Every structure is written in C-alpha cells, then in structure tokens.
Chains A and B, each alone.
Chain A
C-alpha cells in the first residue's frame, strides 16, 4: 500500500528556515515523479516543486532560489528545504506522487509569523 507521511511543519519567524520531510512506503521515491504542493488557509492548490526519477528538479517562480527539493533514496524520503520564509509561505504543504498526483500525503502546516 502506498503511503506518504509529511512532517517538519510548525511556526517559524519570517526569514527563517524549515525542512519538511515526506516518508514514503509501498514504492520507491527514486522511481517516480515526486512533488510538493501547498494550500494557504482558505485558498486554492499551488504547485511548489517536482523532482524527477532521474534527479532533475523544477520550481514555481515564487519559491525559486529559496526552496530546494531533494530525496534520500536510502531513507525513501522526500524533502523540501525552505529558506528565507515569508508570511505568504504560510500553508499546508503536501507531498504527492506521480505525473498526475494520484497519491497525496496528509499534509503538514507551516506558519510563518512573528
């Protein structure tokens, strides 16, 4: 059974850093497209970043240069390193599997506030 479990969210001050994790089971993260998607409170879905099986990475313009997607194949875990956080980055962050997102985690809330 495919499972995705995010962790690492919390309250962080503007300008701070946070690393989100997405532990996968039932498949190998290095064999598929893995993305991060976020949803601000009361707002729509926003795609954040993707890492391909071959390791190529791509980002939405609003996080480019601040966020880094990566994975640890030995831990079968996806990461999102978030630096220079802003209030507008406040959202639930989901990891998702696939070219179209057939599997989602439950999400982890990131709150950027002083």
Chain B
C-alpha cells in the first residue's frame, strides 16, 4: 500500500503568515493527491484535488503543488478561519490513503 507522510505534525503560526505543509508519498502517485481541512467536530472539507486544482468556493489563498512523490499545500496569508487540521490523501491506487494530519495552531 502507498504510505503518505505529512510534515510537520503541528505548525504554530500567526495571522498573515505564509504557511506550507508538505506531503510525501512512498511511491509515485502522479498528481492524484487531494488536500482536506478539518475543524474540531466538523466534517472534512475538500480544498485541493489533482494536486493543484482548487475546489469550487475555496479561497484563492490556498494553493497546492507537486507531482510524483512530493507535494505541498500553501496558505499565502493565514486567516483566523484557517486554524484547523489539514490532511493529504492519495487516490492513485484502488486503496486510498490519508496522511497523518498537520494541525495549524495559533502562535
């Protein structure tokens, strides 16, 4: 199975900061990667699909990049609503896999 490793596990940042989360796949997944945001007690929300495509309605401060095994999610200017946990997920294979999550905390 394909393993997904996110870093860091926790990130402390301030409003207005540029934030980058990375996700590494154990083998090539082309661009079949999604990013989700989850707030406590809430359902996960799709932000990015196919590595860099912004889901409808998601603010443009979110962007995704990468292909193969290395991917990143960037928030260009962190807003109060962005403090949450972020997950990457591969869907290259019949067996999908999530990363372990990155919690973005207020510094």
List residues of A whose CB falls within 8 A of some B CB.
Answer: 35, 37, 44-47, 50, 56, 58-61, 94, 99-102, 104-107
The answer for the CA separation of A56 and B94 in the assembled complex, in Å, is 10
Interface assignment of B22: CB less than 8 Å from any CB of chain A: no
A102 touching B55 by the CB < 8 A rule? Answer: yes
Residues of A within 8 A of B67 (CB): none
A45 touching B55 by the CB < 8 A rule? Answer: no
The answer for the CA separation of A106 and B43 in the assembled complex, in Å, is 6
Q: Closest residue to B48 on the A side, CB-wise? A: A100
Interface assignment of B100: CB less than 8 Å from any CB of chain A: yes
Task: Name A101's contact: one of B46, B97, B99 (CB within 8 Å).
Answer: B46
With contact pairs A44-B101, A45-B36 given, residues A104 and B43 touching in the complex (Cβ less than 8 Å): yes
**Can you give 11 A-B contacts (C-beta < 8 A)?**
A35-B96, A37-B44, A44-B85, A50-B94, A50-B96, A56-B94, A60-B95, A94-B44, A101-B89, A102-B55, A105-B43
List residues of B whose CB falls within 8 A of some A CB.
Answer: 1, 34, 36, 38, 43-44, 46, 49-50, 55, 85, 87, 89, 91, 94-101
Q: Closest residue to A92 on the B side, CB-wise? A: B43
Residues of A within 8 A of B99 (CB): 44
A47 touching B98 by the CB < 8 A rule? Answer: yes
Residues of A within 8 A of B36 (CB): 45, 101
